[in-house]
Amino acid sequence: MKKRKTPGPDKWIKEWSSDMQLGPLYQLARLQQDNRAGAMHICVYTALLHLWHRNYYRVPFAITRKQVMLLAKIRSKVTYHKVMDELNMFGYISYYPSFHPLRGSIIFFNLTDDLD
């Protein structure tokens, strides 16, 4: 089995040099300062950032509830749906849920400065 070569720091810097890719990180900093957001919001948003990275920064990208709940350490479906709906309502993401068991829900990161 051939060992996979990991990219060096130069490649990592080039990948993150785009404003599109840095925008969600700036929004994470804003989310941490938002009085409406709690620890679960930050955990779920961070899980979404991780999944976005695993999807090669595609816009939009698909997620499953199971993936997000596992990464964010959430056990309750009610908490998951509440937090996702609130992140959508607060303007940090655009969330289009899929009720099909094999298709993922669609996520866009909102990169505007005019959050509610």
pLDDT in tens, 72-98: 999 999 999 999 999 999 999 999 999
| Residue 6: pLDDT over 50 | no
The pLDDT of residue 102: 83
Alpha-carbon distance of 116 to 112, in angstroms, equals 11
51 falls within a domain: yes
Spatial CB neighbours of 25, under 8 Å, sequence gap ≥ 6 = 49
- Domain that residue 34 falls in: 20-109
Whether pLDDT at 11 is above 50? no
Query: pTM for this structure?
Result: 0.79
Query: Quick check: is 88 in a domain?
Result: yes
Which residues lie closer than 8 Å to 80 by C-beta, 6 or more apart? 44, 65, 68, 69, 72, 74
Task: Check pLDDT > 70 for residue 67.
Answer: yes
**Is position 8 within any domain?**
no
Rounded mean pLDDT of 32-54? 96
Q: How many domains does the chain have?
A: 1
